Amino acid sequence: MNILLTGGAGFIGSAVVRHIIANTVDNVLVVDCLTYAGNLESLAEVEGNPRYQFAQVNICDRVALNNVFEQFKPDAIMHLAAESHVDRSIDGPAAFIETNIMGTYVLLEAARQYWAALPEEKKVAFRFHHISTDEVYGDLHGTENLFTETTPYAPSSPYSASKASSDHLVRAWNRTYGFPSLVTNCSNNYGPYHFPEKLIPLIILNAVAGKPLPVYGDGAQVRDWLYVEDHARALYKVVTEGVVGATYNIGGHNERKNIDVVKTICGILDQLVTVKPAGVSKFEELITYVKDRPGHDMRYAIDASKIDKELGWKPLETFESGIFKTVQWYLNNEQWWRRVQDGSYAGERLGLEK
């Protein structure tokens, strides 16, 4: 297949690209406008592969998208491009409305126009896979209930509201136009190449630098953690085997309180880091409780039984195995995260934009 993958220079997108190039014979074109979270260094291991291409295109640019469709002739689209950081959405929601809602609309229309002109055999096989989040469901108030594919939407932040809107657009295009789309909603991802503003990499990198480890409120918020490479496998399975019009929830079966995640990371670092920062005997000493963010959801938890039963996908990593691999990766890949922290990774963008 020719797979057009938006947002492929981001955390999850780059994992999907690496998975496809390493494990299939498909061709991938990454479409990414390279905002702050887009990093071509996350795709270094596939660069130069004849089955990989990159185009610096904003999904809000219809003319550029039309050119991409005409030249690459995709058999499937995996739509991951999105603004995705809740705190940033609270501080500046406009970019989330523009990219997540308007960008999805523009991409849908470009894809629909392209799809409508395909020969019948190609038209029947074409897929548009929209990748979303469990945050569209709001939060769970009990300790046993789970998000299912039919859980009503109740987004709490500008970020989750914008993703909920994009989900509705994709489903409406399927219902109204017969456009062959699928939707997946995933739990919190973690793993290699995660942008350092997110909780797990932030804790790892602050700890090794001897900086405070910020925990919102009392740290009792619960998240279901999904190792990013497990997620990449699931996404490929959905785009190749999923039922048109269906939704699949993807979770790691790993519910943890935020404070327990932080303490687990600290324990692993205590094992692996032989020379600790000055004045630190155990990394847990750096934990600092900070004011909770507005509208903070208390618990997310995914029921991933549908994708298991229908497509045969299960996560391979437990939280314990995945988080150990993740901490090790950050300790072994200082050059990658240093270049993100000091901004030098952005030089790739400047070079492409000239």
Q: Active-site residue numbers?
A: 134-135, 159
- SS3 assignment, position 194: coil
Dihedral sign computed on CA atoms, order 39, 31, 311, 188: positive
Quickly tell me which residue has 């190039």 as its tokens: 21
Question: What DSSP string runs through 268-325?
Answer: HHHHH-SSPPTT-SSGGGGEEEEPPPTT---B--B--HHHHHHH-------HHHHHHH
Rg (CA), the chain: 20
d(CA 153, CA 134): 9
Task: Count other C-beta atoms under 10 Å from residue 303's C-beta.
Answer: 17
What distances in angstroms separate CA 144 from CA 8, 223, 247, 289, one per listed residue?
A: 35, 13, 22, 27
The end-to-end CA distance of the chain, in Å, is: 32
Backbone angles phi, psi at 334, to 5 degrees: -60, -35
106 touches 31 (CB < 8 A): no
Structure tokens at 93: 């929601």
Nearest-CA neighbor of 254 among 195, 294, 200, 330? Answer: 200
Nearest-CA neighbor of 154 among 175, 172, 133, 139? Answer: 139
Task: Give 280-283's long-range contacts (Cβ < 8 A, gap of 24+).
Answer: 280/210, 283/207, 283/213
